[in-house]
Structure 1
Amino acid sequence: MFIQFHKEGAKIILGTTIAVVAVVFLADAFLPIFWLQKAVQILALFMLIMVLQFFRNPKRVVAINDNHIIAPVDGKVVVIEEVFEPEYFKDKRLMVSIFMSPINVHVTRYAVNGLVKFSKYHPGKYLVAWHPKASEENERTTVVVENRVFGEILYRQIAGALARRIVNYAQEGMQVVQGTDAGFIKFGSRVDLYLPLGTQVNVKLNEKAVGGKTIIAIK
């Protein structure tokens, strides 16, 4: 089966491949101890495999439905609770948080159809993604999409301890389609969804979510 990779990984994949090929040949040429030579080569190949799996971008057929809010990313549901959202709404919202480990697909997808009303990048720290202050202090982007059924839905891409770049394609005034590519977070992170109070949540804590597939909430 043909494996697709996200465009954000092109330079890193190319650079890693060149480095791994160089390490394999240099180990052959300069390491006289056989087991050490093979250990270095295997480690280099393992690093390439890890980079390739991180940037994979599986094709997913999305069943577009304005009565559904779908998972924006792959990962584990770690928070479902009412919280105060201080940046845009400045009131209480229902937050559903999905944590992504380095082995998850890291493509961010639009959870709903609609109009992008707000999109802002915030530089910040790199606390572990599950840290209580990560959503306020880490590098992050905040995006609000207005949907005809649910109203305004906010999602926040949050960098983790390993993440060093958040890519966000949402721009204010764009019409976006549920399930399409909204960005990428490089090397570990989480995404928080802020929903209107009273929204019927369709997932449970510790449930595994699949971006573009899992229905997070229904109307």
Structure 2
Amino acid sequence: MARAYAAEGAIVYGADVVADELEAEMKALRDQGFWAVAVPTDLMKPDEITALVDRVVADQERVDVLANVAGVIELKHLEETTLEDWETILNINLRAPFLTCKAVAPVMKRQRSGSIINVSSRAGVMGFADEVAYCASKWGLEGLSRSIALDLERFGIAVNTLTPGTPTQTAMSEKTYSEETRKIWRDPAEITPAFVHLALQTPQGIHNRYVNAWALSQQLKGLEETT
């Protein structure tokens, strides 16, 4: 996602708890002539989320796009799911997007523009066995996003949730996907057109929607091929 945004000319601030990998990715973008900044951030710590947004606003005086991409999962039965599992998954998958949205809202409202993209899942609209905390976090993210979409639309801010729509190879899917699913998984780069397109939206466009990233990316690819 960071590479796709950088290629479109965005000033990218990447945030991740794995500082060395984050810096390597941002440096790779800088080496290509893009503007990319690494801000190591632990999404379990509200103070670090506040510091992240404060850093961006101090540098740029605005925030045009917020993409909440981070997510974690544990595949466990209900009775095996510990309170620690529950709190970790809910904190990263739901509390962190709440805090980032809350932090950027005043800035976007002041500039009367912006786009918020919260990465969801099929687990946000249907239940799956052994995903007690994960499903709860993604259903919660859907509710959060629907609510803030209505809160912010009058300020010109678009808010959408996005499900990959196709198996993608990520650190999380490497942990959870079966061998059969791994045979058909795709590079996340194939769904980045949807992220770029949603970043350009206003409440008059795609707004307050649960978007299938694969379907939208294929649609955009088809439009490019016919023009």
TM category (shorter chain) comes to under 0.3
Structure with larger RCO (C-alpha < 8 A, sep 6+): 1
TM-score (norm 2): 0.26
Structure having the larger proportion of residues in strand: 1
